[in-house]
Amino acid sequence: MLESLRLLDNLRLNFSPEGLTLLNIALSIVMFGVALEIKPAHFRSLIEQPKSILTGVFSQFLVLPALTFLLTLLLKDFITPSIALGMLLVASCPGGNISNFITNMAKGNVALSVGLTGIATVGAIFFTPINFSFWGQLYISFIESNQAEVLVRPLEIDPFEVFETVFLILGLPLLTGLVVAYKFPNITEKLVGPIKKLSVVIFAAIVVIALKNNFSYFMQYVHYLFIIVLLHNGLALISGFSVSTIFRLPSADRRTVTIETGIQNSGLGLVLLFNPEIFPVDLPTGGMACITAWWGIWHIISGLTIAWTWANHKRLTSKLATIVS
């Protein structure tokens, strides 16, 4: 398995400057749509229900990256540095916009979900560069100190370069969306529904764009990626549920924090990954790209599955009880 992943790492992914521009525009539209739904009341929820909000932020930006780092150390004999850094990159991103839809399907706290999405997206402008820089450099130091496999050349993660990209892709569309929502509430009300549906399509398109010219490579290694992302996404969902249980959140809030932690904005990860100022083209980042792209597919499948299970929990429990009796 490790030998196959080494080959994956060294793949030169086909991704044109035009494709990167389209990827940036697509993600900006998604973030603009998210901002249209963010209201001042969602930020006031920090005061009104601080426990649930702070638990969600704590789970997503502190617990998940730390546990991901530990997971990369446990899997060090089975994954390459590029794969590990891809996992850390995904864990450093904010929650994905589809989490609101999945929370609603799971009968969670939708207001909390939207509030967490807004707060986490704004917070990601700072937390994503800090987390990826800190945990990424820590992992690289661990690899070098143990004389294990290393990258082609040292990777210096510049948090300011990451911050600049995140601000342009997340910050500006968010600010624009907030201004439009505040100045033109009637227009916003008409735009929210169509843009929400469009954003789901765009998010899927982001993954398709990333894999379009690399599909044969992806299919060749997808069975390895499946196992790694399955473990990582499972860890994210379990950690979100565990943290919210430890803090004794209500059932609906536990579901929300679980989903917000398990649904990551891997589209942002791809945008960062294909920025040559952050990841020079001569670095073996094929594994990072494929892990990040597969996350974008798998977390939707896992999120919808867990949401359906929660939504039908009583009916499933009743059927099981009938079968047992």
pLDDT of residue 40: 66
8 in any annotated domain: no
pLDDT of residue 15: 56
Q: Tens digit of pLDDT for each residue in 172-188?
A: 777 787 788 778 878 77
Instruction: Provide the H-helix boundaries in the chain.
Output: 2-9, 17-36, 40-48, 50-58, 64-74, 81-92, 99-105, 110-145, 159-166, 172-183, 185-211, 215-246, 251-262, 266-273, 286-311, 313-324
6 in any annotated domain: no
7 in any annotated domain: no
Chain-centroid distance of CA 75 in Å reads 20
Evaluate if residue 53 carries a pLDDT over 60. yes
Of 15-29, 75-89, 120-134, 241-255, minimum mean pLDDT range:
15-29
5 in any annotated domain: no
Q: Tens digit of pLDDT for each residue in 257-305?
A: 999 999 988 877 877 777 766 676 666 677 888 888 888 888 888 998 9
- Which burial class, exposed, middle or buried, applies to 265 when counting CB atoms under 10 A from its CB (0-12, 13-18, 19+)? buried
pLDDT of residue 200: 64
**Span 67-91, average pLDDT:** 91
2 in any annotated domain: no
How many domains does the chain divide into? 1
258 in any annotated domain: yes
Q: Tens digit of pLDDT for each residue in 196-250?
A: 667 667 666 666 665 666 666 667 777 888 899 999 999 999 999 999 999 999 9
Residue 173 or residue 90, greater confidence: 90
Q: Could you give the CA distance from residue 33 to residue 199 in angstroms, rounded to a whole number?
A: 7
4 in any annotated domain: no
pLDDT of residue 255: 94
Residue 237's domain comprises 16-324
Q: pTM for the full model?
A: 0.81
Residue 99 or residue 8, greater confidence: 99
pLDDT of residue 198: 72
Query: Which band of pLDDT confidence, cut at 50, 70 and 90, is reported for residue 157?
Result: low
Check which CATH number belongs to the domain holding 92 and give it: 1.20.1530.20
- In the structure encoding, which two tokens stand for residue 232, read together? 């990582």
26 in any annotated domain: yes
**Span 22-28, average pLDDT:** 70
Q: What is the mean pLDDT of the chain?
A: 78
- In the structure encoding, which two tokens stand for residue 2, read together? 């490790």
- Sign, CA torsion 153/157/160/163: positive
* Highest mean pLDDT of the ranges 32-46, 168-182, 295-309: 295-309
Evaluate if residue 147 carries a pLDDT over 60. no
pLDDT of residue 153: 46
Residue 318 or residue 96, greater confidence: 96
